[in-house]
Every structure is written in structure tokens, then in C-alpha cells.
């Protein structure tokens, strides 16, 4: 009976040790998770659209300035404010802003 008690205690201590190792490993790996940093939309603009912005900047400098500020602040096209999308459509004539960017 005493041997059975020792075996159970030994087994439980091993299980407890593995549990502690798992928790320790989990907390360390949880602390090391990396978040992705996304480039701004302005840095992902295709070169032909940058040239188009430069040309349109002569006619509509205030609107183009607002658009470029929004593109520098946002990382996702879906995060753009609707007024910015309308400004892009008005100044550049682009219906779909998704086509303006690389690696989407």
C-alpha cells in the first residue's frame, strides 16, 4: 500500500513539474509575440499614381494635401474616410482606390 502511495506521489510530482514547465513556456512565448507593423498607404503607392498626384497638385493643392495626409496616416484602404475616397475619385478619376497600391 505504501509503495502505491509512493508511485502516485512520484507520478503527481512529475505531472506537476510538466505543468509548471508548460505554464512557464507559455508565458514566455506569449510575452515574445510580435505584432506586425504595416507600411503606410503612401509608401505603397504605385509610381504612376505618385506622378498623377504631382500633376493634380498644381490644380487642387489643398485637396491633394488632404489626400496625401490621409494616405500617410492609414495602413489599410478600408480605413480611409469616405470623403478621402471621394476626393481621390474627383481629382484623379479613380473609381477603385484598391488598384492604386502595391502588394495588396
pLDDT tens-place string over residues 3-37: 776 666 665 666 666 667 667 676 666 666 555 67
Domain coordinates in residue numbering, the chain: 1-34, 42-100
What is the model's pLDDT at position 39? 86
Report residue 102's pLDDT band, with 50, 70 and 90 as the boundaries: confident
Distance of alpha carbon 18 from alpha carbon 104, whole angstroms: 44
Is the confidence at residue 59, as pLDDT, over 80?
yes
What is the model's pLDDT at position 103? 75
Average pLDDT over residues 44-49: 93
DSSP 31-78: HT-----PPPTGGGB-HHHHHHHHHHHTT-HHHHHHHHHHHHH-SSGG
> What values do phi and psi take at 91, rounded to 5?
-85, -40
Amino acid at each position: 500500500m505504501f509503495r502505491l502511495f509512493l508511485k502516485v506521489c512520484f507520478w503527481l510530482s512529475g505531472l506537476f513539474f510538466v505543468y509548471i514547465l508548460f505554464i512557464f513556456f507559455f508565458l514566455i512565448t506569449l510575452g515574445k509575440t510580435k505584432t506586425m507593423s504595416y507600411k503606410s498607404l503612401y509608401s505603397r503607392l504605385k509610381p504612376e499614381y505618385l506622378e498623377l498626384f504631382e500633376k493634380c497638385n498644381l490644380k487642387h493643392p489643398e485637396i491633394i494635401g488632404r489626400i496625401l495626409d490621409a494616405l500617410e496616416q492609414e495602413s489599410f484602404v478600408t480605413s480611409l474616410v469616405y470623403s478621402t475616397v471621394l476626393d481621390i475619385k474627383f481629382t484623379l478619376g479613380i473609381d477603385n482606390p484598391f488598384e492604386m497600391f502595391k502588394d495588396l
